[in-house]
Amino acid sequence: MKSLINKKSFNVVLVLLSGILWGTIGIYTTALNTSGLSSISITAVRSLLTAIMLGIFIFIYNKKLFKIRLKDLPYFFGMGVISFAFFNVCYFKSMQLNKSLGTAAILLYTAPIFVCFLSAVLFKEKINLTKLICLALAVAGCILVSGGGNITFLGLLFGLGSGFGYALYSIFSVYALKNNNFFTAIFYAFVLATICLAPLCQWGAVITSIKADFSIFLYILGIAFFTTVLPYILYTCGLKVVPAGEASVIACIEPLVAALIGFFVFNQTMKPLAIIGIVLILGAVIILSRPKKD
Protein backbone atom coordinates (compact mmCIF):
# COMPACT_ATOMS: atom_id res chain seq x y z
CA MET A 1 0.00 0.00 0.00
CA LYS A 2 2.80 2.41 0.91
CA SER A 3 4.54 1.79 -2.43
CA LEU A 4 1.26 2.49 -4.27
CA ILE A 5 0.84 5.78 -2.41
CA ASN A 6 4.42 6.76 -3.18
CA LYS A 7 3.92 5.81 -6.84
CA LYS A 8 0.79 7.94 -7.11
CA SER A 9 2.47 10.85 -5.30
CA PHE A 10 5.33 10.71 -7.79
CA ASN A 11 2.92 10.76 -10.74
CA VAL A 12 0.93 13.61 -9.18
CA VAL A 13 4.19 15.58 -9.11
CA LEU A 14 4.71 14.80 -12.81
CA VAL A 15 1.25 16.19 -13.64
CA LEU A 16 1.87 19.20 -11.39
CA LEU A 17 5.18 19.91 -13.14
CA SER A 18 3.48 19.73 -16.53
CA GLY A 19 0.93 22.34 -15.41
CA ILE A 20 3.70 24.59 -14.09
CA LEU A 21 5.64 24.31 -17.36
CA TRP A 22 2.53 25.12 -19.42
CA GLY A 23 2.02 28.16 -17.19
CA THR A 24 5.45 29.57 -18.15
CA ILE A 25 4.58 29.94 -21.84
CA GLY A 26 3.97 33.68 -21.41
CA ILE A 27 7.69 34.23 -20.75
CA TYR A 28 8.52 32.94 -24.23
CA THR A 29 5.61 34.47 -26.14
CA THR A 30 6.21 37.91 -24.62
CA ALA A 31 9.84 37.87 -25.70
CA LEU A 32 8.97 36.58 -29.19
CA ASN A 33 6.15 39.11 -29.64
CA THR A 34 8.47 41.90 -28.54
CA SER A 35 10.95 40.82 -31.21
CA GLY A 36 8.22 41.40 -33.81
CA LEU A 37 7.08 37.83 -34.48
CA SER A 38 3.37 37.30 -35.12
CA SER A 39 1.20 34.76 -33.31
CA ILE A 40 1.06 32.62 -36.46
CA SER A 41 4.85 32.64 -36.86
CA ILE A 42 5.37 31.71 -33.21
CA THR A 43 2.88 28.84 -33.53
CA ALA A 44 4.54 27.65 -36.76
CA VAL A 45 8.08 27.50 -35.37
CA ARG A 46 6.78 25.95 -32.15
CA SER A 47 5.03 23.24 -34.17
CA LEU A 48 8.09 22.60 -36.35
CA LEU A 49 10.56 22.22 -33.48
CA THR A 50 8.07 20.20 -31.43
CA ALA A 51 7.57 17.77 -34.35
CA ILE A 52 11.34 17.40 -34.72
CA MET A 53 11.87 16.82 -31.00
CA LEU A 54 8.99 14.34 -30.75
CA GLY A 55 10.30 12.56 -33.83
CA ILE A 56 13.70 12.13 -32.17
CA PHE A 57 12.01 10.95 -28.96
CA ILE A 58 9.91 8.33 -30.80
CA PHE A 59 12.94 7.18 -32.83
CA ILE A 60 14.81 6.48 -29.58
CA TYR A 61 11.81 5.26 -27.55
CA ASN A 62 10.00 3.01 -30.04
CA LYS A 63 10.28 3.31 -33.85
CA LYS A 64 7.09 1.28 -34.28
CA LEU A 65 5.11 4.30 -33.09
CA PHE A 66 5.71 5.96 -36.46
CA LYS A 67 3.30 3.48 -38.09
CA ILE A 68 -0.25 4.77 -38.63
CA ARG A 69 -3.40 3.97 -40.57
CA LEU A 70 -4.17 6.47 -43.34
CA LYS A 71 -7.80 6.67 -42.25
CA ASP A 72 -6.64 8.19 -38.94
CA LEU A 73 -5.04 11.19 -40.69
CA PRO A 74 -8.24 13.30 -40.46
CA TYR A 75 -8.14 12.93 -36.66
CA PHE A 76 -4.47 13.98 -36.56
CA PHE A 77 -5.38 16.92 -38.82
CA GLY A 78 -8.14 17.87 -36.41
CA MET A 79 -5.76 17.72 -33.43
CA GLY A 80 -2.94 19.58 -35.12
CA VAL A 81 -4.57 22.12 -37.42
CA ILE A 82 -8.19 22.66 -36.42
CA SER A 83 -7.29 22.54 -32.72
CA PHE A 84 -3.61 23.11 -31.85
CA ALA A 85 -2.81 25.69 -34.52
CA PHE A 86 -6.11 27.51 -33.99
CA PHE A 87 -6.07 27.63 -30.19
CA ASN A 88 -2.38 28.60 -30.05
CA VAL A 89 -2.80 31.52 -32.44
CA CYS A 90 -5.84 32.64 -30.42
CA TYR A 91 -4.03 32.11 -27.10
CA PHE A 92 -0.94 34.09 -28.10
CA LYS A 93 -3.12 36.84 -29.56
CA SER A 94 -5.16 36.88 -26.35
CA MET A 95 -1.98 37.41 -24.30
CA GLN A 96 -0.99 40.26 -26.57
CA LEU A 97 -4.39 42.00 -26.61
CA ASN A 98 -5.34 41.51 -22.96
CA LYS A 99 -1.87 42.43 -21.66
CA SER A 100 -2.37 39.85 -18.92
CA LEU A 101 -0.93 36.33 -18.88
CA GLY A 102 -3.34 35.29 -16.13
CA THR A 103 -6.43 36.52 -17.98
CA ALA A 104 -5.38 34.78 -21.20
CA ALA A 105 -4.68 31.53 -19.33
CA ILE A 106 -8.00 31.52 -17.49
CA LEU A 107 -9.92 32.14 -20.73
CA LEU A 108 -8.04 29.18 -22.23
CA TYR A 109 -9.30 27.14 -19.28
CA THR A 110 -12.90 27.61 -20.36
CA ALA A 111 -12.10 24.57 -22.55
CA PRO A 112 -13.74 21.99 -20.22
CA ILE A 113 -16.99 23.94 -20.47
CA PHE A 114 -16.88 23.68 -24.27
CA VAL A 115 -15.91 20.00 -24.03
CA CYS A 116 -18.96 19.38 -21.85
CA PHE A 117 -21.38 20.68 -24.46
CA LEU A 118 -19.54 19.34 -27.50
CA SER A 119 -19.61 15.91 -25.87
CA ALA A 120 -23.37 16.24 -25.43
CA VAL A 121 -23.74 16.78 -29.18
CA LEU A 122 -21.14 14.28 -30.41
CA PHE A 123 -21.18 11.56 -27.76
CA LYS A 124 -24.76 12.01 -26.50
CA GLU A 125 -23.56 12.73 -22.95
CA LYS A 126 -26.30 14.09 -20.71
CA ILE A 127 -26.27 17.72 -19.61
CA ASN A 128 -27.35 17.66 -15.98
CA LEU A 129 -27.97 20.41 -13.44
CA THR A 130 -24.33 20.36 -12.28
CA LYS A 131 -23.09 21.04 -15.82
CA LEU A 132 -25.57 23.89 -16.26
CA ILE A 133 -24.44 25.43 -12.96
CA CYS A 134 -20.82 25.14 -14.10
CA LEU A 135 -21.73 26.85 -17.36
CA ALA A 136 -23.39 29.68 -15.44
CA LEU A 137 -20.31 30.03 -13.20
CA ALA A 138 -18.01 30.10 -16.22
CA VAL A 139 -20.09 32.71 -18.05
CA ALA A 140 -20.28 34.87 -14.91
CA GLY A 141 -16.53 34.44 -14.47
CA CYS A 142 -15.83 35.56 -18.04
CA ILE A 143 -18.03 38.63 -17.57
CA LEU A 144 -16.21 39.55 -14.35
CA VAL A 145 -12.79 38.94 -15.91
CA SER A 146 -13.67 41.11 -18.89
CA GLY A 147 -15.00 43.85 -16.64
CA GLY A 148 -12.30 43.66 -13.99
CA GLY A 149 -9.17 43.51 -16.10
CA ASN A 150 -7.53 45.27 -19.03
CA ILE A 151 -9.39 42.99 -21.41
CA THR A 152 -10.89 44.23 -24.67
CA PHE A 153 -13.84 42.75 -26.54
CA LEU A 154 -11.50 41.43 -29.23
CA GLY A 155 -9.22 40.08 -26.50
CA LEU A 156 -12.18 38.27 -24.94
CA LEU A 157 -13.11 36.73 -28.30
CA PHE A 158 -9.57 35.48 -28.91
CA GLY A 159 -9.44 34.17 -25.33
CA LEU A 160 -12.68 32.24 -25.71
CA GLY A 161 -11.48 31.11 -29.15
CA SER A 162 -8.42 29.59 -27.50
CA GLY A 163 -10.67 27.75 -25.03
CA PHE A 164 -12.89 26.46 -27.84
CA GLY A 165 -9.87 25.32 -29.88
CA TYR A 166 -8.39 23.60 -26.84
CA ALA A 167 -11.71 21.82 -26.31
CA LEU A 168 -11.61 20.56 -29.90
CA TYR A 169 -8.21 19.01 -29.13
CA SER A 170 -9.86 16.80 -26.50
CA ILE A 171 -12.66 15.84 -28.89
CA PHE A 172 -10.35 14.89 -31.78
CA SER A 173 -8.05 13.06 -29.35
CA VAL A 174 -10.91 10.72 -28.38
CA TYR A 175 -11.04 9.47 -31.97
CA ALA A 176 -7.29 9.60 -32.66
CA LEU A 177 -6.31 7.62 -29.55
CA LYS A 178 -8.70 4.73 -30.20
CA ASN A 179 -6.13 3.03 -32.43
CA ASN A 180 -2.94 5.02 -31.81
CA ASN A 181 -0.41 5.65 -29.08
CA PHE A 182 -0.54 9.15 -27.56
CA PHE A 183 2.94 10.06 -28.84
CA THR A 184 2.08 8.85 -32.34
CA ALA A 185 -1.02 11.04 -32.38
CA ILE A 186 0.64 14.23 -31.17
CA PHE A 187 3.69 13.73 -33.42
CA TYR A 188 1.57 13.58 -36.57
CA ALA A 189 -0.68 16.36 -35.24
CA PHE A 190 2.33 18.67 -34.99
CA VAL A 191 3.67 17.56 -38.38
CA LEU A 192 0.36 18.45 -40.05
CA ALA A 193 0.14 21.72 -38.09
CA THR A 194 3.62 22.65 -39.34
CA ILE A 195 2.74 21.84 -42.95
CA CYS A 196 -0.41 23.97 -42.84
CA LEU A 197 1.17 26.89 -40.96
CA ALA A 198 4.41 26.98 -42.97
CA PRO A 199 2.99 29.06 -45.88
CA LEU A 200 1.55 31.58 -43.38
CA CYS A 201 4.71 31.90 -41.29
CA GLN A 202 6.97 34.92 -41.84
CA TRP A 203 10.17 32.87 -42.00
CA GLY A 204 12.19 35.89 -43.06
CA ALA A 205 11.14 37.76 -39.92
CA VAL A 206 12.05 34.72 -37.79
CA ILE A 207 15.55 34.52 -39.31
CA THR A 208 16.03 38.30 -39.06
CA SER A 209 15.01 38.28 -35.38
CA ILE A 210 17.45 35.47 -34.60
CA LYS A 211 20.28 37.25 -36.43
CA ALA A 212 19.57 40.44 -34.51
CA ASP A 213 19.40 38.66 -31.15
CA PHE A 214 20.46 35.02 -30.75
CA SER A 215 18.47 34.76 -27.50
CA ILE A 216 15.34 34.68 -29.70
CA PHE A 217 16.45 31.26 -30.95
CA LEU A 218 16.77 30.12 -27.33
CA TYR A 219 13.23 31.35 -26.62
CA ILE A 220 12.00 29.42 -29.67
CA LEU A 221 13.75 26.27 -28.43
CA GLY A 222 12.32 26.89 -24.98
CA ILE A 223 8.72 27.28 -26.11
CA ALA A 224 9.01 24.01 -28.05
CA PHE A 225 10.77 21.94 -25.39
CA PHE A 226 9.77 23.38 -22.00
CA THR A 227 6.14 24.27 -22.79
CA THR A 228 5.29 21.52 -25.27
CA VAL A 229 7.41 18.36 -25.52
CA LEU A 230 8.46 18.01 -21.87
CA PRO A 231 5.07 18.79 -20.25
CA TYR A 232 3.23 16.51 -22.70
CA ILE A 233 5.58 13.64 -21.82
CA LEU A 234 5.30 14.33 -18.06
CA TYR A 235 1.50 14.62 -18.23
CA THR A 236 1.18 11.40 -20.23
CA CYS A 237 3.43 9.50 -17.81
CA GLY A 238 1.40 10.85 -14.88
CA LEU A 239 -1.85 9.65 -16.45
CA LYS A 240 -0.63 6.05 -16.14
CA VAL A 241 -1.48 6.26 -12.41
CA VAL A 242 -3.41 9.51 -11.84
CA PRO A 243 -7.07 9.45 -13.06
CA ALA A 244 -7.80 11.88 -15.90
CA GLY A 245 -10.28 13.87 -13.80
CA GLU A 246 -7.78 14.40 -10.99
CA ALA A 247 -5.02 15.22 -13.48
CA SER A 248 -7.09 17.95 -15.15
CA VAL A 249 -7.73 19.54 -11.75
CA ILE A 250 -4.03 19.39 -10.81
CA ALA A 251 -3.14 20.99 -14.16
CA CYS A 252 -5.33 23.95 -13.18
CA ILE A 253 -2.19 25.31 -11.56
CA GLU A 254 -1.32 26.56 -15.08
CA PRO A 255 -3.38 29.80 -14.98
CA LEU A 256 -2.16 30.47 -11.42
CA VAL A 257 1.47 30.16 -12.55
CA ALA A 258 0.73 32.38 -15.56
CA ALA A 259 -0.88 35.02 -13.31
CA LEU A 260 2.06 34.94 -10.86
CA ILE A 261 4.57 35.31 -13.71
CA GLY A 262 2.53 38.18 -15.11
CA PHE A 263 2.51 39.88 -11.70
CA PHE A 264 6.13 39.30 -10.58
CA VAL A 265 7.95 39.29 -13.94
CA PHE A 266 5.90 41.69 -16.10
CA ASN A 267 4.25 43.83 -13.40
CA GLN A 268 0.75 42.95 -14.60
CA THR A 269 -2.11 43.48 -12.15
CA MET A 270 -5.76 42.47 -11.99
CA LYS A 271 -8.69 44.18 -10.32
CA PRO A 272 -10.69 42.39 -7.57
CA LEU A 273 -13.56 41.67 -10.02
CA ALA A 274 -11.17 39.85 -12.36
CA ILE A 275 -9.82 37.76 -9.48
CA ILE A 276 -13.38 36.78 -8.47
CA GLY A 277 -14.04 35.85 -12.12
CA ILE A 278 -10.94 33.64 -12.19
CA VAL A 279 -12.11 31.86 -9.02
CA LEU A 280 -15.55 31.23 -10.57
CA ILE A 281 -14.09 29.78 -13.79
CA LEU A 282 -11.60 27.58 -11.92
CA GLY A 283 -14.40 26.44 -9.62
CA ALA A 284 -16.50 25.41 -12.61
CA VAL A 285 -13.57 23.51 -14.14
CA ILE A 286 -12.78 21.69 -10.87
CA ILE A 287 -16.43 20.67 -10.39
CA LEU A 288 -16.63 19.36 -13.96
CA SER A 289 -13.36 17.47 -13.55
CA ARG A 290 -14.43 15.53 -10.46
CA PRO A 291 -14.50 11.76 -10.96
CA LYS A 292 -18.00 10.44 -11.64
CA LYS A 293 -19.61 8.38 -8.88
CA ASP A 294 -20.81 4.91 -9.79
Residue 149 has pLDDT above 80, yes or no: no
Confidence of residue 278 (pLDDT cuts 50, 70, 90): confident
pLDDT tens string 216-238:
999 999 999 999 999 988 988 88
Percent of the chain residues past pLDDT 90, beyond the cut: 48
Q: What is the CA radius of gyration of the chain?
A: 19
Residue 2 has pLDDT above 80, yes or no: no
pLDDT of residue 217: 96
Q: Distance between CA 96 and CA 262 in Å, rounded?
A: 12
Stated pTM of the model: 0.85
pLDDT tens string 127-139:
888 888 888 888 8
pLDDT of residue 136: 85
pLDDT of residue 26: 93
Q: What is the mean pLDDT of residues 58-84?
A: 94
Q: Distance between CA 98 and CA 59 in Å, rounded?
A: 40
Annotated domain spans of the chain = 2-289
Which of these, 65, 229, 221, 173, lies nearest to 237 by C-alpha position?
229
pLDDT tens string 81-121:
999 999 999 999 999 998 888 888 888 988 878 888 888 88
pLDDT tens string 259-274:
889 888 998 877 788 7
